[in-house]
Structure 1
Amino acid sequence: MKNKMVVKLISYFFITLLVFCLVISVLFITLFRKYIVDFYKADMLKQAEAMSDSLTEYMGQTGGWNRQGGLKGYMRILDELSNGNIWIVDENMDFLVSGRGMSGQITYSDLPSNAEILVQNAFKGEASFSEEFSGFLDEPTLTVGVPIMEGDIIKGALLLHTSISGMTGSVRQGISIMFLSTVLALMISVIIGIILSLSFTRPLKKMKNTALALARKDYSAKTGVVQNDEIGQLAYTIDELSIQLDAASKESERLAKMKQDFMTNISHELKTPVTVIRGSAEALVDKVVNDPVQIEQYHKQILNDSIMLQRLVEDLLELSRLQNMDFSMSKQRILINDIISDAVHSSSHIAKPKNININLFMEDFNVEMEGDYARLRQMFVIVLDNAVKFSNQGSKIEVMCSKNTIVIKDYGCGISRKDIPYIFERFYKMNNEANRTGTGLGLAIAKQIANRHNIEILVNSNEGIGTEFTFVFNK
């Protein structure tokens, strides 16, 4: 079933509201009925006391009780004005007069069981109520008993019987209104509950669809939910996860491509010298070449390509070790001044055949750090070797040391702008005759050594003018 949560939320909301309405209804009916009864009692008591005062005044004017005289007629008038039934009885439950002329027809045995209690309370000066006369009068009736005074003497008890069918009708009408209001409130609440439930579950559905899209490796999927609450925070977390997964996917693709390129490059780099070595060896074994001079050339070719293979393998192993963070270096407190001087001295021998001068300048330079002397020397030698390789005959190379930087500048062919971002990648070689014998791993090794020593390498180059490698020693 779709939208199970919507159905659950609406059901919970409806059940809670229904219980609430039932409790409120019971309380309302109870309190409303009590209010109606109290209202009727207060009104009846007020009428009965007014009638009692009126009778007391009337008897004082007429000279006393006269059952056969004007009292009976006066009682009829009061009976009609009150819309009730008025009885006047004495302390012995003998009827003195009734507004509706029933006194002769009523005997003590016909009265309800607590009628005597009502009269006794009246002769004690207390007003009291009873509903026991309902069966006697053949309709729901509320009776109030009050004393009739003559001075300080209680002469009789006035019993006022009033039909409570109107009160019962009011209570029923109140219950009907309450029932209709409850049904209407439940209907409105269900509609509101549906709207609220849909608004609550809509972002959850979006997040579910986004999660499914991420599971299908669609990392561009976003929830599109912006809320300042817990749901909004969850949606934000899913969107952040989507961004990170997208970045990780692209990085994985990049690494896979690098791996593929690496395998392609290494296969090519290994295949070329191996092919040359095999071809030369086969020519010698098959005695295709007989001239001693050519045989000597073939031997040299095999030796040179073997050396190249050895260098390639050693560079690969070196780069692999440097990229492995578990590979430890022999770090100690060293002075960079000594290392760069040593590297320049060694590279000068490489530069001699091309008549290139390497000039070392040190100005306010005295950098001391924790590092591996041999690895740092190797880093500088790699860059200096490249500078010699790509410099013109009789050119010069400048090594300038100042504060926390070392700049190695040559005046060779330079590097094109499109090549600069890739020069530190493995097997990347410029299409240049001077770089024909290179493995394409030197600068990659230099970069790894720099990274392990927290050294930043910056490159600035212009084709036909020269190249600058700047080493920044971060403290």
Structure 2
Amino acid sequence: MFGIGKSIFRRLLFGHMFTMLLGLCVVGFLLSLLTKGYIVDSQKEELLRKAKRVNLTVQTVTVPDDRVKEQLLFFDQTFDARIWLFDRNGKIAATSSKDEVYVGKSVDPSVVRKVLSGEEALLNEPRFEGLKEPMLSVVVPWGKDNEVYGGIVLHASVAGMNETITLMRETILWVTLVGVLLSAVTASYLSWSISRPLRRIDKLALRIGHGDYGERIEIASNDEIGELAATINQMADKLQRTDEDKRKQEQIRQDFLANVSHELRTPLTAMQGFLEALQDDLIDDAAKPKYYDIIYKETLHMNRLVDDIADLIKLENDEIALSRSPVDVRQLFAHIAAMFGPEAAERNTTIEMRTEEGLPDAYADRDRFEQIMKNLVKNAVKFTESGKILLNARAESELLMIQVVDTGIGISPDDQEMIWERFFKVDRGRSKKSSGTGLGLAIVRELVELHGGTITVRSEVGQGTVFEFRLPAAQNAIHEGGRQHVKAI
């Protein structure tokens, strides 16, 4: 995976350098062309201006004499240019110093035609016989007003101009080379600044792939790479939470299986022993009903365990369909109080009911509502000794708030966070009769949420516990309330 980061660095580096180098070469080439064109045009314009100045001096002379030749020599030395005068027939009539050998020779007819028509000519290449070295030449009419006697030619060597162009090109080349060097440094830094966080992301992804979720990437930018780093961090957070939840659930599952095995093994072992004793006539006839009753109760306990597991599986698979109807909460409270009254009395505990005036019915599945109340009240009775259990209900807008309050031993803060987890079983040391599978409250929460309600718990160790949940209220179904005290008998 790290090879990918290096490859990205190389590609970014070469890509940046190629782009910058190409840009610099194009700019340098264009500058070279523009500079050469500017120098050539400037030189031509300067020669043209000098040729016109020569014409101002000789425009009154139709036939060159010695005075004209002296003037041409002066201009030759002053302008550093060779000067020719040719007549209307294209014959060279006079020249400056070194060019007397050209007197009497002819110039290009096309040049003569331009001059006689009054045009000025800028010649890129010499069109004159006898010129061997490269020259830059201009031609202007020789004459005054509209009368043309011939033409004036100025030749300037291109050697100096070429030297200037060469110097400019060398300067552009050096500037380009410096630009390439700076571009390489810039491209290297840019590539490093991009590939470095990518390598860190790559390293983190590799660690995540090996199950190590502890490291995070420091986000130093708000660009796309920063967003990618933030996404990787979020993914690591989620995977870490998922892994922790998975470990926690696995531990809970193992505890649950151990509890279920224990819950099944203990009664089955007892039942097996009792049945073997009964089969071998080791028990007196007078004591047999007692053992039959024990076997029966253990069978009921195992049935409840199987029913709880079946309910939980159905809830997990969304296989429970509610049959909703208005449910009289006071009647259900009375039924629950009567059902658990004897067991509560054994623990010297009373069960009370409190409902407000005009309390509406709950809109719920009656059997599932009763199952919720049974589980909550059963827990309250189990963990309350010489105390009180209150079943409370009141209307809240379109909901019913229902409470099961006990004055029992309470639930520790750590356990309060876990009691809703499937397969969780609270500390067995809370009560001498704290047997169970740890499924009751998980089923309660699932059933409440299946009704569209919510359930919470408040508790203090040694003070008691309040389970509070809300269910939808049925409309137009109101019963008179009141307070009823049910003392366990």
Query: In the superposition, relative to structure 1, how do residues 37 and 294 fare at CA in structure 2: closer, same or farther (>3 Å)?
Result: same
Quote the residue 1:10 is aligned against: 13
Return the alpha-carbon distance in structure 2 between the equivalents of residues 285 and 38 of structure 1: 129
Q: Secondary structure at the match of 1:431?
A: helix
Query: What displacement does 1:178 show?
Result: 1.8
* Stretch of structure 1 that moved more, 418-427 or 237-246: 418-427
Task: From the superposition, tell whether residues 411 and 228 of structure 1 become closer, same or farther in structure 2 (CA, over 3 Å).
Answer: closer
Q: Given the superposition, is the C-alpha separation of residues 191 and 120 from structure 1 closer, same or farther in structure 2, using an over 3 Å criterion?
A: same
Aligned counterpart for 1:450 among listed residues 448, 451, 455? 448
Deviations 1:79-113 (A, max 9, x none): 222212122221123333222164455443xx56x
Tell me the amino acid that sits aligned with residue 198 of structure 1.
Answer: W
Q: Secondary structure at the match of 2:34?
A: helix
Task: Give the equivalent residue in structure 1 for 2:270.
Answer: 276
* 1:469 corresponds to: 467
1:408-452 Cα deviation digits (max 9, x unpaired):
334455555565445555444643665266555444433332232
- TM-score, scaled relative to structure 2: 0.83
Question: 1:384 is paired with a residue of what secondary structure?
Answer: helix
CA 1:435–1:422 in structure 2 vs 1: closer, same or farther (change >3 Å)?
farther
Give the aligned partner of residue 149 of structure 2.
Answer: 155
> SS at the partner of 1:132?
coil
1:252-331 mapped onto 2 (5 Å cutoff): 252-287=246-281, 289=282, 291-331=284-324
Deviations 1:352-374 (Å, cap 9, x if unpaired)? 66675433222245244432101
| Separation in structure 2 between the aligned mates of residue 153 and residue 421 of structure 1, nearest angstrom | 116
Counterpart mapping for 1:371-450 below 5 A: 371-392=364-385, 396-403=388-395, 404-415=400-411, 419-424=415-420, 426=423, 427-428=425-426, 430-431=428-429, 435=433, 438=436, 440-450=438-448
Deviation at 1:457, TM superposition (A): 3.5
The aligned amino acid for 2:117 is K
Partner of residue 85, structure 2: 88
Deviates more, 1:213-222 or 1:409-418: 409-418
User: Quick check: 2:21–2:183 contact (8 Å CA) kept in 1?
Assistant: no
Matched, 1:201 2:201: no
1:184 to 159, 178, 182: 178
1:358 aligns with 2:354: no
- Does residue 334 of the first structure (1) align with residue 327 of the second (2)? yes
What letter is aligned with 1:279?
G
Q: RMSD over aligned Cα, in angstroms?
A: 3.1
Assess if the C-alpha contact under 8 Å between 1:6 and 1:197 holds in 2: yes
1-side partners of 2:341 and 2:289: how far apart? 31
Instruction: Kindly indicate whether residue 78 of structure 2 is the aligned counterpart of residue 78 of structure 1.
Output: no
Structure 1 stretches of 5 or more lacking a match? none
More divergent stretch after superposition (131-140 vs 368-377) = 131-140
Q: Give the aligned partner of residue 119 of structure 2.
A: 126
**Partner Cα distance (1:20, 1:205) in 2:** 30
Given that 1:95 and 1:103 are in contact with CA atoms closer than 8 Å, whether structure 2 keeps it comes out as no
Deviations 1:240-271 (A, max 9, x none): 11111111111111111111011111111111
Deviations along 1:174-205, one digit per CA (max 9) or x if unpaired, are 22222222222122112211111111111221
Residue among 211, 236, 239 paired with 1:242: 236
Partner AA of 2:118 in structure 1: G
Contact 1:96 1:103 in 2 (8 A): no
2-structure distance, mates of 1:74, 1:433: 133
SS in 2 for 1:358: strand
Q: Which residues of structure 2 form unaligned runs of 5+? A: 474-489
Q: Is it true that 1:24 corresponds to 2:27 in the alignment?
A: yes
Give TM-score scaled by structure 1 length: 0.86
For the residue of structure 2 that corresponds to 1:149, the secondary structure is strand
Correspondent of 1:98 among 92, 95, 98: 95
Aligned to 1:140: 134
Please report how far the alpha carbon of residue 286 of structure 1 lies from its aligned counterpart in structure 2 after TM superposition: 4.5
Aligned residue-pair number:
463
Q: Is the contact between residue 133 and residue 142 of structure 1 (CA under 8 Å) also seen in structure 2?
A: no
Distance 1:95 1:329, change over 3 A: closer
Is the 8 Å Cα contact of residues 365 and 402 (structure 1) preserved in structure 2? no
Q: Deviations over 1:284-332 (max 9, x none)?
A: 4455x35444555444433333333233223332333344322222223
Equivalent pair of 1:350/1:385 in contact (CA under 8 Å): no
